[in-house]
C-alpha cells in the first residue's frame, strides 16, 4: 500500500509526524464518544500496520502493550506507518464488559453497517477508517472472563506471509485458527489485510509476562516486515510450538474443579489433568487429556457445570521439545526488558 499520502478522520498526516486523532463514534445517550487513535509515521516509505486492543472491553493486557510500545525509542527508526488503537470498544471498557451496551460482540459485527446496531456502527467506523487503510494488523486479546490463555499467535498458517510473521513474533505457541463469520480477522482477510491475533492472559488482569511477550512480539514483527532495523541476536532463537489442532476439554460432571495442571504444562493422552469433586461426597471424577499436547488455555474458576470448558489443549506429539520451548520463551520474556536501549553496533542497517 502506498505510504505517500495517509488520511485518517479527514486529517492528512505527513511523514515524520506522531499525532493522536479522535474519531467520532455514536453518542452514549447524549454524551459525545470518540475513538482515540495514535498515528506514527516514519520519515521513510513502508507498510501501514495497525495494532488494536480491547475489541472486548474487559481485555486489558493489550492496552498496556500499546502504551509501552509507543514509548520505545526504536520507533524513531520506523519505516512506514503505525496506527495504534488501544481501546476499540470504548463503551465496554467503561463498564469492564466484553460487550457493547446493546449486548452485542463487536468481534462478530464486522464489517458493520452505518445504519445497523450500535456494535455494527462502531465496527463500520473502525473497519473503514483503520483496517482498509492498512497492509497488516495485529489484534491483541486475552481469554474471556474466568479463563486464561498461554501467550499464543492465532492465524492462518497455510498463508506463507502470515505464518512467517507469526513465527517471528516470539510467542510460545502458533495456532492455526479458522475464520469466524463477522470477526475482524475474517472480514479483513476478504479485504486483503492479513491479521495476527495475539491471545495472552485473562480478562480484567494485567500479566507482566504476557505484556512483555506482546511488546517484544510486535517489534519482532515490524522488524520481519522491514519496518524497523533488525538486530544481531546474542543467542539462537527457537521456533515456537506450531499446531493445527486444538480442543477444549469439557467437564463431565458438575461440582468443584480441582486442577493439577497449569498453563504451558505438557500432557499425555489419557493423563489425568483435573478432578471434579462434590463438597459432601468422597467421590471424584477424573478429567483426562484426549491426546498428547500442551495446555494453552484453562478455566480459572473452580465452580463448574457438566459441559463447561475447562482446559484448552494444543496437539503436539514431541512433549520433550514442547516443554523445552515453553521454558525458553517464558524465561526470555521475564529476563529481558522491553525498554532496552538498542546500541548502534547492535543494529543491522
Per-residue model confidence (pLDDT) at position 341: 41
Q: How far apart are CA 152 and CA 70, in angstroms?
A: 22
**Is residue 237's pLDDT more than 80?**
no
pLDDT value for 317:
82
- Domain count of the chain? 2
pLDDT at residue number 172: 94
Any domain includes 165: yes
CB 258 within 8 A of CB 275: yes
C-alpha cell at 173: 505457541
Q: Determine the average pLDDT of the residues in 199-217.
A: 96
Question: Is 89 part of a structural domain of the chain?
Answer: yes
What mean pLDDT is predicted for residues 118-131?
98
155 vs 345, which has greater pLDDT?
Answer: 155
Does residue 327 register a pLDDT over 90?
no
List the domain range (segments joined by +) for residue 253: 245-321
3-state secondary structure of 56: coil
Q: Same domain for 191 and 309?
A: no
CA dihedral 249, 255, 261, 263 (to 10 degrees): 70
Which residues pair with residue 288 across a beta bridge? 272
Least confident of 65-79, 99-113, 201-215, 328-342: 328-342
Q: How many CB atoms lie within 10 A of CB 47?
A: 17
Based on the domain organization, do 153 and 260 belong to the same domain?
no
Q: Any idea which of 16-30, 110-124, 222-236 has the lowest mean pLDDT?
A: 222-236
pLDDT given for residue 106 in this prediction? 98
Residue 338: pLDDT above 90? no
CATH of the domain at 313: 2.40.50.100
b/e per residue 48-86 (b: at least 16 CB within 10 A)? bbbbbbbbbbbbbbbbbbbebbeebebbebbbbbbbbbb
**Is residue 68 located within the same domain as residue 171?**
yes
Same domain, 183 and 253: no
Q: How many CB atoms lie within 10 A of CB 163?
A: 17
Q: Cell numbers 500432557 label which residue? A: 267
Give me the CATH number covering residue 63. Answer: 3.40.630.10
Percent of the chain with pLDDT over 90: 84
The arithmetic mean of pLDDT across residues 226-238, rounded, is 81
Model pTM score? 0.94
Residues 208 and 252 in one domain: no
Q: Would residue 30 count as lying in a domain?
A: yes
The CA-CA-CA angle for residues 241, 170, 168, to 5°, reads 95
Is 110 inside any structural domain? Answer: yes
CB atoms within 10 A of CB 45: 12
Averaged pLDDT, 50-60: 99
Residues 216 and 257 in one domain: no
Q: Are residues 66 and 210 in the same domain?
A: yes
Same domain, 308 and 179: no
Residue 293's pLDDT is 96
List residues bridging with 195 in a β-sheet: 137
**Contact in structure between 112 and 162 (CB atoms under 8 Å):** no
pLDDT at 321: 84
Confidence of residue 325 (pLDDT cuts 50, 70, 90): confident
Whether residue 181 sits in one domain with residue 72: yes
- How close are the terminal C-alpha atoms of the chain, in Å? 23
Say whether both 18 and 128 belong to one domain. Answer: yes
Same structural domain for residues 297 and 179? no
Q: How many CB atoms lie within 10 A of CB 303?
A: 11
pLDDT for 324: 85
Q: Is residue 1 part of a domain?
A: no
Is residue 109 domain-resident? yes
Residue 344: inside a domain:
yes
* 75 and 223 within one domain: yes
- Identify the residue whose cell numbers are 475447562: 310
Q: How confident is the model at residue 333 (pLDDT cuts 50, 70, 90)?
A: low
Rounded Cα–Cα distance for residues 217 and 231 (Å): 14
Amino acid at each position: 500500500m502506498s505510504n505517500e499520502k495517509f488520511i485518517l478522520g479527514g486529517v492528512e498526516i505527513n511523514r515524520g509526524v506522531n499525532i493522536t486523532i479522535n474519531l467520532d463514534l455514536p453518542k452514549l445517550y447524549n454524551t459525545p464518544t470518540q475513538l482515540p487513535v495514535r498515528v506514527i509515521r516514519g520519515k521513510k516509505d513502508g507498510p501501514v500496520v495497525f495494532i488494536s486492543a480491547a475489541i472486548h472491553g474487559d481485555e486489558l493486557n493489550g492496552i498496556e502493550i500499546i502504551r509501552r510500545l509507543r514509548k520505545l525509542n526504536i520507533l524513531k527508526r520506523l519505516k512506514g506507518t503505525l496506527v495504534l488503537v488501544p481501546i476499540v470498544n470504548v463503551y465496554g471498557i467503561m463498564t469492564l464488559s466484553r460487550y457493547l451496551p446493546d449486548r452485542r460482540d463487536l468481534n462478530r459485527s464486522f464489517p458493520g453497517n452505518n445504519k445497523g446496531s450500535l456494535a455494527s456502527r462502531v465496527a463500520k467506523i473502525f473497519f473503514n477508517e483503520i483496517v482498509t487503510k492498512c497492509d497488516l494488523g495485529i489484534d491483541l486479546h486475552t481469554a474471556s472472563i474466568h479463563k486464561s490463555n498461554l501467550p499464543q499467535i492465532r492465524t492462518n498458517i497455510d498463508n506463507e506471509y502470515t505464518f512467517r510473521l507469526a513465527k517471528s513474533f516470539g510467542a510460545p505457541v502458533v495456532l492455526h485458527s479458522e475464520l469466524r463469520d463477522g470477526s475482524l480477522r475474517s472480514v479483513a482477510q476478504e479485504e486483503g489485510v492479513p491479521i495476527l491475533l495475539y491471545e495472552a492472559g485473562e480478562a480484567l488482569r494485567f500479566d507482566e509476562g504476557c505484556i512483555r511477550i506482546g511488546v517484544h512480539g510486535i517489534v519482532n514483527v515490524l522488524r520481519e516486515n522491514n519496518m524497523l532495523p533488525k538486530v544481531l541476536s546474542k543467542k539462537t532463537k527457537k521456533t515456537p510450538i506450531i499446531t493445527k489442532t486444538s480442543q477444549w476439554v469439557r467437564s463431565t460432571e458438575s461440582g468443584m474443579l480441582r486442577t493439577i495442571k497449569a498453563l504451558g504444562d505438557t500432557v499425555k493422552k489419557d493423563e489425568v489433568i483435573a478432578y471434579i469433586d462434590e463438597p459432601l461426597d468422597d467421590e471424584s471424577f477424573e478429567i483426562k487429556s484426549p491426546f498428547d499436547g500442551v495446555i494453552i488455555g484453562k478455566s480459572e474458576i473452580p465452580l463448574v457445570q457438566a459441559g463447561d470448558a475447562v482446559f484448552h489443549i494444543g496437539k503436539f506429539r514431541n512433549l520433550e521439545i514442547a516443554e523445552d520451548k515453553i521454558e525458553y520463551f517464558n524465561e526470555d520474556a521475564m529476563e529481558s526488558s522491553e525498554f532496552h536501549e538498542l546500541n548502534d553496533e547492535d543494529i543491522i542497517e
